[in-house]
Amino acid sequence: MNREAVSPLLIRKYNQPVPRYTSYPTVPYWQEGIDAEAWKETFRRQFHEENHTRGISLYLHLPFCESLCTYCGCNKKITTNHSVEEPYLRAVLEEWKSYRKLMQQTPVIRELHLGGGTPTFFSPRHLKLLLQELLKGAIVHPQHQFSIEGHPNNTTDAHLKVLYELGFHRISYGVQDLDPEVQRVINRIQPFENVQRATGEARAAGFTSINFDLIYGLPLQTAAGMEQTIRSVITLKPERIAFYSYAHVPWNSKAQRLFNESHLPSPEQKLELYRLGKDLLLEAGYEDIGMDHFALPSDELSKARADGRLHRNFMGYTTQDTGLLLGLGVSSISDAGTAFAQNAKTLHDYYAMIGRGELAVTKGYFLTEEDRAFRRYILDASCRGQVSFRSEDRACLDSFSKPVLEKLAEDGLVTLSGEGMTITETGRHFVRNICAAFDLLKLRSEAAGDEGRRFSQAI
């Protein structure tokens, strides 16, 4: 394999805490106690602008899991008691009814994603009831994309058939790592045979796009184990592979405190695991889409990148940019273009607010014109690898972004001109750091000596 060497000095220099930039402004800068009435008005206005042109996107958070994966930083509830399914689905549908009242017209659903937690914790019957009620009286866009996150151990043929009948053609399986020792320490025992079965059943049911989530940087991972994992999964030819960096955030995720931190790979070892995995994926015919994501040339994600249609949101890279993403369920996040809103993070608070007939939003952010401009820069950097500067942003760019970009250019991560910036091949290893050059809130906080917000390491 012919790999460009990345200096260990660069790795150490840029292995700094930075956001993953699934939004801008990033969640730590949002305000607690969002003005619910202002959010309703923003949602209502954005819905009427987007619904009959591009349609809307829906994200449903289904938080339950039967066992705890110790690496996971998602909002989840661990239980083997499946009687929790029905009350939760009732609450989500009540929340949907509240938003339907704000819409005052038939919603056109362009994108629908079920995430978690483990959505396939729910029985096929309950998922069918949820989706039928959700889609009742709605219009499904002819170019819709419906997707779900599934666990290879508990996704059944019955799940897949129900989902396919309701318009789902995409599924993402959490594979993470196939090394038995790594699986043991992260408490996710998942033989390759289960992944193979779940993949075959999805294709037999009619699913046309399958994604595998893999993680590098987990405890006890080795280069040999990573190579075996990658070589095994590519035999199944998933259309997409998300190759995520493990985010060690024990201050947010208590389960990560169970790790012996000496078992975590060093930044240099972690980057080597990534580069090894990337080389094997490229060798197998996958294309590098951007931060974390790879896809076969025939997949819509590769086509969107080539056509300049790639978008990034809370679900990672996507081909859909509807202008309105509505999140339903505990901790879900909504994006109305000019504002973000996040639901209550605990089931107790979520149920209480829904029970009172309120929207469950408890945190959010209303974007200024400046926020929207720099959000665009971050999206262009992460989705297209280049940014064109606007003259009206020159003062902020010169004061905050330019000094950072000049240092990035000195290290060979970007090239600069008077009109914009382009990420180099070396810079593709450090996209999060490059996006941070346009994060005015973070830059201003650091200039003011405010170190109160914490992020995972870049590498």
Question: Which tens digits make up the pLDDT trace of 270-290?
Answer: 888 988 999 999 999 999 887
Work out the percent of the chain whose per-residue pLDDT is above 70. 95
- Give the pLDDT confidence of 24-58 residue by residue, as tens digits: 999 989 999 999 999 999 999 999 999 989 999 99
Written as six digits, the tokens of 58 are 């829906």
Binding-site residues, in ranges, read: 59, 65, 69, 71-73, 116-118, 149, 176, 188, 213, 247, 333
For the annotated binding site for [4Fe-4S] cluster, the residues are 65, 69, 72
Mean pLDDT value across the chain? 92
Q: How far apart are CA 271 and CA 149, in angstroms?
A: 27
Give me 212's structure tokens. 């595998």
Whole-angstrom Cα distance, residue 253 to residue 142?
40
Confidence band, pLDDT 50/70/90 cuts, at residue 251: low
Q: How far apart are CA 287 and CA 302, in angstroms?
A: 7
Contacts of 226 (CB under 8 A, 6+ apart): 177, 216, 273, 276, 277
- DSSP codes joined into one string, 238-273: -SEEEEEEP---TTT-GGGGGS-GGGSPPHHHHHHH
Q: What are the sequence ranges of the domains in the chain?
A: 25-328, 369-448
d(CA 111, CA 108): 9
Instruction: Decide: helix, strand or coil at residue 364.
Output: strand
CATH architecture of 369-448: Orthogonal Bundle (1.10)
What pLDDT digit, counting tens, does each position of 312-322 carry? 877 778 887 78
Measure CA 59 to chain center: 11
Q: Point out the annotated binding site for S-adenosyl-L-methionine.
A: 59, 71-73, 116-118, 149, 176, 188, 213, 247, 333
Measured from the Cβ of residue 40, the count of other Cβ atoms closer than 10 Å reads 17
Backbone angles phi, psi at 323, to 5 degrees: 90, -10
Which CATH class, in words, describes the domain spanning 25-328? alpha beta
Domains 25-328 and 369-448 agree in fold? no
Q: Give 177's contacts (C-beta < 8 A, 6+ positions apart).
A: 183, 186, 214, 215, 218, 221, 225, 226, 229
Please tell me the pTM assigned to this model: 0.92
Query: How many helices (DSSP H) and strands (DSSP E) are in the chain?
Result: 16, 20
- pLDDT tens for residues 172-224? 999 999 999 999 999 999 999 999 999 999 999 999 999 999 999 999 999 99
